[in-house]
Amino acid sequence: MEEAERLCDRVALIDAGKVVAIDTPAGLAGRVEAGQRIHFRPSVPFDDALLAQLPEVTHVIRRGDVVVVTGNDNALNAVTSVLARHQIVAHQLRVDQASLEDAFLALTGKHSDSQ
């Protein structure tokens, strides 16, 4: 999937022998309601409710000392603004957008490696 995303101009997603979608990799990824996934290590502890209450945020989870926030396309701006107001630095900040893999999963309900 990663190679197709980097190298192909157009991609056809096929499920059980039927074409379920044809578009550019970015166009297919854009169909996914995944929004943004923001990963960071906070400089100080904070209550997850600080971010969970934002309308742009759908989920806040912790993986060890890493906070993972999922939200809409405005989530990054909302999260970083709240963190700055509370003087919390987001170390090792990374933002993930929906990928071709996410589009395949959303359109077929299957992981690409299960075929």
Number of domains in the chain: 2
C-alpha angle with apex 109: 104 to 110, nearest 5 degrees?
70
Same-domain status, 42 and 28: no
Average pLDDT over residues 14-40: 85
Instruction: List Cβ neighbours of 37 (8 Å cut-off, separation of 6 or more).
Output: 68, 69, 70, 95, 96
User: How many whole angstroms separate alpha carbon 16 and alpha carbon 113?
Assistant: 14
Structural domain boundaries enclosing 43:
35-97
Same-domain status, 7 and 49: no
The pLDDT tens digits of the residues spanning 57-114 come to 999 999 999 999 999 889 999 999 999 999 999 999 999 877 888 788 888 876 555 4
Residue 115 has a pLDDT of: 41
Residue 110 has a pLDDT of: 64
Residue 19 has a pLDDT of: 92
Residue 44 has a pLDDT of: 97
Same-domain status, 39 and 91: yes
Same-domain status, 106 and 93: no
**Looking at residue 72, what DSSP letter applies?**
-
pTM, entire model:
0.66
Tell me, what CATH number does 55's domain have?
Answer: 3.30.70.980
